[in-house]
Amino acid sequence: MIRRDDQGGATIRAVRLEEPLDFDGRLDEPIYDQVPGISDFIQTEPLEGAPATEKTEVWVFFDDEAIYIAGRCWDTQPHRIVANELRRDHGSIWLNQHLAVTFDTFYDRRNAFIFYLNPLGGFFDGLITDERNFNRDWTAVWDSRTAWFEDGWTTELRFPFKTLRYPAGGPQVWGINFRRVVRWKNEISYLTQLPAALGIWSITKVSSYGTLVGLEAPPSSRTVEVKPYLTGDAAGARREDIPFDREFGSDFGVDAKVGITSGLTADLTWNTDFTQVEADAQQINLTRFSLFFPEKREFFLEGQGLFAFGTSERTPRASARRFGAPSSVPLLFFSRRIGIAGNQLAPIRGGARVTGKLGDFGVGALAMRSGENAATGAPGTDFSVVRLKRDILGRSTVGLMGTHRSDAGGGLGSNAAYGMDARFGFYENLDIRSYAAWTKNEHEERTGMSYRGQFDYQADRYGLQLERLVVGEGFDPGIGFLRRRDFERNYAEARFSPRPRSIAWLRKIGGTGSLDYTTDTDGNLETRILALRSDAELENGDSFQFELARNREVLHEEFRLADDLAVAVGAHDFETARLSYRAGPQRPVSGNFAYQQGGFFSGTRRELAWRGRLEVIPHFIVEPTVSLNWITLPGGVYDTRLVAARLNYNLSPRSFLAAFLQYNSAANSLSTNIRFRWEYQPGSDFYLVYNSLRDTLMPGYPELDTQSFIVKFTRLFRF
C-alpha cells in the first residue's frame, strides 16, 4: 500500500470500495482487516526526521461518487488527549489533537486542499496556494465521523468528487499528505518528511507531499451549485428628533457555482447578503496610519490566495513576529473596498468570479457592481479584477494583475491599477519575491508607482531577511489598501535559533535582531526601529518572548489621539520593552499574556494585554481579549480600554451559539453580536443574528444607538 524512497517521500495506493462503508467512524468493517493501514509517520517536531512516537494508521478508499479517508490514531496516554473545540473552521482546532489530510489534485506540487478534524468531530477546511498562502476561510461540502476506542480515537472522512477540482476523469495521480498532532506532548508528524524550519506552516510545502496512485475519478463534470437565501429583519436606530424607530424588512438573493472546465469554476452572486458575518474585532489606533480589518464575507474568501499580489502575510515560522508596526506592503486588491462608499456601506447588487487552473496558469477574474449610496452621494460603482499567474521552474511563479474601479470618489473619476510580480523558490528555505505596480486616477495627470524586492532565507537554525519597499507619491490602488503613503522602506532581520539537546524541558531558543529604516520619497527620515528579540519555546507548549526596541519617529505634521490631545511635530526618540508569555493549549487557562513599557513619542506608554481561552464546561468556551493602555504626553493623559469576549456554546460540529461582546473606551461604545448557526445539512444553513450598539457616554446604563434582529435561511442544491 505504500512505497518509500530514501528522501522520506512516499507513494501510496487508493483502494476501490466494493461495498459501501458503514460511515460511523468506528473502522469495524472487514475491509480494515483486509487492507493494511499506511503508517510510519515522520516527525517534524520535536525531532525532525525521527519516527513518530505515537502510531497512526490511514487508509484511502474511493467509489464512483467520493474519496474516503480513514484514520486510527493510537495514543499511549489517551486520558491526556487535548480536544475541546467543536466550532467549524476555528483556529483552536489546530491546538487540539487532530488528523489532517491534504490533496494536491492537479499534482502541480504547489497548491492543495486541506482538511482536518479533532477527536470530538470539530473540523476545518482550507486552501493552500503557491506553497505559501493559506486561506482558512474557504468552505467545502464534505462529511466526517469520529469515535473512541480504548487506546485512542478513529475517524472516517468522505469527500464528494463534486467538491474537489481535478483533471479530466479516469486514472488520477494526486499529491497527498497526512498530519498527526499529539498535543499533550507537542509532537507533529507527517506521512512524508517536512522541514521543521516552517513550524506550523510545514503542511504548506506541497512539493514534499507523497504521491497517490490507483485513484479513478468520474469525469470532472460541470457541477452546478445553487444556493438561494431568504432573510427577515427588524432594525432600529436612535435619532435626535424622534424616539427609537424600528423598521421591518425582508430580502432574498442567490449565489451559484458553475464548473466551467475541470480546473475553472465560476461563482455568481445576485443581491449579495452578508448579515450572518461576525462583527469586526474593534481596534484602537495609536498610530498615524490606517487600520486593517480582514475580509470576512463568504463570497470574497474563495480564491484569496490566487488574487494575492506581490506578497504573502504568512510568516515562515510560528514564533516570527516583526517588530514595530504591522506590514506596510500595499495590497493591489483588497475585497473589503467593494461595497464601501465614503466610509459607509453600499449594497452589492451582484457579480461574478472565475478562478482556477488552465495548465500551468492560475487564472482569476472578478466583476462586481455596488449600488448608489444616497447618504454620501456615491453613484453605483463597477469593480473588476484580472489575475494571471504562470508556474515556472520547480517552485516559482510570475504573474500579472490589473484592477479597475469606475468611480474612486473624491472627484478623481475612475481608477486603474496594474502590475507584475514574481516569486522564486530556491533550495528548501530560500524565497526571493518582487513586484512593480502602477496606478492612475482618471482626473489626475501623474501615475503612481510602487515596487518591492525581498530576500528571505528561513532555515530552522538560521534566518536572514532583506527588503526594499517603495510606495511613490500618487500611488493609489482604488480597490486596494494602503496603510502608509509616499515612503521608502529598507528592512533587515537576522535570526539564530538553536535547539539545545542538554535541557530536557527546553525545545528551542532564539535571538533576532532587526533594523527598519523608512524615509519619505525625498530621503528624509520618518521611522527608524532598531530591535532585539529573544524567544524560548518549551517542550510543554508554553513559550516566552522578550523584546527591546529603540525608535526614532519624525513627524512632519501632528496626529491626534483624541480631540484634545495630539502628538507634536518633530523628532521623537524613545525605547520600549515588551515581555510576553503564551500558555499552551493543554492548560485550563491558555493564551498570550503581554506587558509593554517605555516611551511613546514625547511621552510614556504602558500596555497590559491578554488574549486567552477558558473552557468553562465541556463545549462552552470563553475567549477574552483585554488591551489596556496608559499613555502620558506633555499635553495630557490618554488611557484606553478595549475589553472583548467571545462566548461560544457548541451544540455539535455543525451548530453553535456565539456571543461577541466588545467595550471600546476610545469610541465610547458597547457592542453586542449574538449568532446562532445550524448547518442542517452540508452547505445549507439557518442563522439567527442579533446586533446592538450602545453609547457609554450617556449617564446610567448605556443607551441603545442601533439594534437589529435577523433571520436567514439558505439551501444548497447540487446538480
- Residue 139: predicted pLDDT: 81
Average pLDDT over residues 496-513: 92
Does pLDDT of 321 surpass 60?
no
Beta carbons within 10 angstroms of residue 623's beta carbon: 19
Which residues face 695 on adjacent strands? 669, 703
Pick from 710, 698, 709: which is nearest to 240 by CA? 698
| DSSP per-residue codes, 369-400 | EE--BTTTTBPPEEEEEEEEEEEETTTEEEEE
Dihedral of alpha carbons 23, 166, 36, 59, sign: negative
- Three-point CA angle 56, 140, 54, nearest 5°: 10
Which letter does DSSP use for residue 51 in this model? B
Rounded to whole angstroms, the Cα distance separating 151 from 617 reads 25
Which cell goes with 583?
A: 500558555
CA distances from 305 to 92, 203, 509 (A): 22, 16, 32
Separation of alpha carbons 415 and 388, rounded Å: 20
Q: Where are the beta strands (DSSP E) in 218-302?
A: 224-237, 245-259, 264-270
pTM exceeds 0.75, yes or no: yes
Q: H/E/C letters for each residue in 126-138?
A: EEEECCCEEECCC
For residue 300, give the H/E element and its range: helix 298-301
**How many helices and strands in the chain, by DSSP H and E?**
3, 44
What is the CATH topology of the domain spanning 2-217? Immunoglobulin-like (2.60.40)
Calculate mean pLDDT across residues 186-213: 91
* pLDDT grade for 314, boundaries at 50, 70 and 90: very low
Give bridge partners of residue 396 from the DSSP assignment: 392
% of the chain with per-residue pLDDT over 90: 59
pLDDT in tens, 547-589: 999 999 999 998 888 888 999 999 999 999 999 999 988 788 8
Question: For the chain, how far is it from start to end, CA to CA, in angstroms?
Answer: 34
Q: Domain boundaries in the chain?
A: 2-217
DSSP state letters, 488-538 = EEEEEEEEE----SS-TTEEEEEEEEEEEEEEETTS-EEEEEEEEEEEEEE
Predicted confidence at residue 27, as pLDDT, reads 94
Contact 395, 131 (CB under 8 A): yes
For residues 697 and 701, what is the distance between their CA atoms, to the nearest angstrom?
9
Contacts of 323 (CB under 8 A, 6+ apart): 514, 516, 529, 531, 533, 547, 549
Per residue in 150-169, pLDDT (tens digit) is 999 999 999 999 888 888 77
pLDDT at 311: 66
Average pLDDT rounded to a whole number, residues 79-94: 86
Secondary structure (3-state) at 485: coil
Nine cell digits for residue 447: 501615475
Categorize the per-residue pLDDT at 223 as very low, low, confident or very high, splitting at 50, 70 and 90: confident
- Give the residue-averaged pLDDT of 37-46: 93
What secondary structure letter does DSSP report for 342? T
pLDDT for the residue 242: 66
Q: Which of 512, 508, 186 is nearest to 320 (CA)?
A: 512
Tell me the HSE value of 352 on the side-chain side, using a 13 A CA sphere. 6
Mean pLDDT confidence for 28-49: 93
Does position 648 have pLDDT exceeding 80, yes or no? Answer: yes
Quick check: 352 pLDDT over 80?
yes
Please give the mean pLDDT across all residues of the chain: 89
Handedness of CA 113, 143, 658, 716 (dihedral sign): positive
Residue 205, classed as helix, strand or coil, is coil
Q: Mean pLDDT, to the nearest integer, of 605-615?
A: 93
DSSP letter for 481, please.
Answer: B
Report CA-CA distances (Å) from 428 to 337, 431, 688. Answer: 36, 9, 48
Q: Mean of the pLDDT values across residues 128-156?
A: 88
Provide the grid cell at 94.
Answer: 489546530
Question: Is residue 50 predicted with pLDDT exceeding 80?
Answer: yes
Residue 320 has pLDDT above 70, yes or no: no
CB contact at 8 A, 438 and 419:
yes
Query: Is residue 273 predicted with pLDDT exceeding 50?
Result: yes
Q: Model confidence over 394-430: pLDDT tens digits?
A: 788 999 999 999 988 878 889 999 999 999 988 878 9
Structure confidence at residue 342 (pLDDT): 67
* pLDDT of 95 above 90: no
Q: Output the 3-class SS for 624-654.
A: EEEEEEEEEECCEEEEEEEEEEEEEEEEECC
Whether the per-residue pLDDT at 318 is higher than 50: the answer is no
pLDDT per residue as tens digits for the range 659-708: 999 999 988 899 999 999 999 988 899 999 999 998 887 666 777 888 99
**Length of the chain as a residue count:** 719
What is the DSSP pairing of strand 245-259 with strand 224-237? Answer: antiparallel
Cβ-contact 261, 356 below 8 angstroms: yes
- Whole-number pLDDT of residue 69: 97
Three-state secondary structure of 137-180: CCCCCCEEEEEEECCEEEEEEEEEHHHCCCCCCEEEEEEEEEEE
127-159 burial code (b ≥16 CB/10 A, e <16): bbbbbbbbbbbbbbbbebbbeeeeebbbbbbbb
Q: What is the pLDDT of residues 464-476, one digit of tens each?
A: 999 999 999 889 9
Residue pLDDT, tens place only, 11-21: 999 999 998 89
Taking only the tens place, the pLDDT of each residue in 434-444 is 999 999 999 88
